Amino acid sequence: MPSKQKASDPVSHLLGGAVSGLCACIFVQPLDLIKTRLQQQQQAHLAFIKQSGQAGLTIAPLESTIWRTTHNIVKEGSVLSLWRGTVPTIVRNVPGAAMYFTVLNEARTLMARRKVNGLERTDTLSGTSALPKLSNTENLIAGGASRATIGFVMMPATVIKVRYESNLYNYKSMSGAFSSIFRTEGLRGLWAGFGATAMRDAPLAGLYVLFYEQSKAKLGALNASSSYFDVGAPTIHLVSGVAAGFLSTTLTHPFDMLKTRMQLKPAEYKNVFQGARKVLMEEGAIGFLDGILVRTIRKSIHSAITWTVYEEVVRWHLARKADHLA
């Protein structure tokens, strides 16, 4: 049975989070870039409609698709252009993922140590998980609180990443981007869109952990009870990651759309409520789903890679540590 120390070893979770964050952000960066460009093109088209309407011009429909956007990005430079913004993504995701998984583990470990009939209880690791076993409500709270905290700390890197991915800003370096934002918008500019980000990330992370643990538990039980379903832990983590990523991303997408617009055009989208009203008035309810397809695909893949690599790295590190101490 895993010991209390083994279940909450912070070094294992820090290492697992960093490695998983690096693998995931490099692999899915093209999808992140395409999602940002699609949302940016929608904004530009809306501005054109407004100007054309005032001038009495005929307006052609927006022909913005994943394939067309990908083709235009490659045409601007090369295939490597699809990885534009990878450096700020790594700067944000690697320490961000490392801190998130460490904080999440500590939060879950603390929640697992509670009084039951006057006795202290410490939950051990669940059968296929690198995290303590908690209730649905505890998973929701731990995931949401951990993500909101780390999101605030990493917000400046997030703003720079989004602007790097767009073609509205011609930043030559991360330091140049930081200086430009600070000079023109002040500290507030470095946290542009945090409200929408928190409203997206807190429920997203909470729902993700909830769906992930539920899916993993059900697949683990099926694996143990059925002779026709025999797969390893990595496969269970991968499938659970895809399912949880799809469900949680779909439910929280409107806040991601608002977050992107607030970071690209803070003068037009000043806060969550004003931005939401602007989208509703100009585009209708369908506007809140702008970019949902590519983000859902991207997030599902990203989540599957992140959590599968994370769980396996934690298990590998704990096994090495145990062998060293034996």
CB atoms within 10 A of CB 213: 23
Cα dihedral 171, 38, 30, 183 in deg (nearest 10): 20
Concatenate the DSSP letters of all residues of 57-124 into one string. ---PPP---HHHHHHHHHHHS-GGGGGTTHHHHHHHHHHHHHHHHHHHHHHHHHHHSEEETTEEE---
> One digit per residue, pLDDT tens: the chain, 326 residues?
344 444 457 888 999 999 999 998 888 888 888 877 776 776 665 665 666 655 554 444 445 677 888 888 888 778 888 888 788 788 878 998 999 999 988 888 888 776 444 444 444 455 555 566 778 888 888 888 898 888 888 888 888 877 776 667 777 777 778 888 888 888 888 888 787 778 777 888 899 889 998 998 888 888 888 777 778 888 888 899 899 989 998 888 888 888 878 877 788 888 888 989 998 988 888 888 877 887 888 888 888 899 899 988 988 888 888 777 76
Cβ neighbors of 25 (< 8 A, separation 6 or more) are 86, 89, 90, 93, 94, 302
d(CA 29, CA 88): 11
d(CA 15, CA 22): 11
Helices (H), the chain: 4-7, 10-55, 66-76, 86-112, 136-153, 155-165, 174-190, 194-225, 233-264, 272-283, 292-325
Structure tokens at 38: 């699609």
- Rounded to two decimals, the pTM is 0.66
Predicted local distance difference test score (pLDDT) of residue 46: 63
Q: Phi first, then psi: what are they for 32, rounded to 5°? A: -65, -40
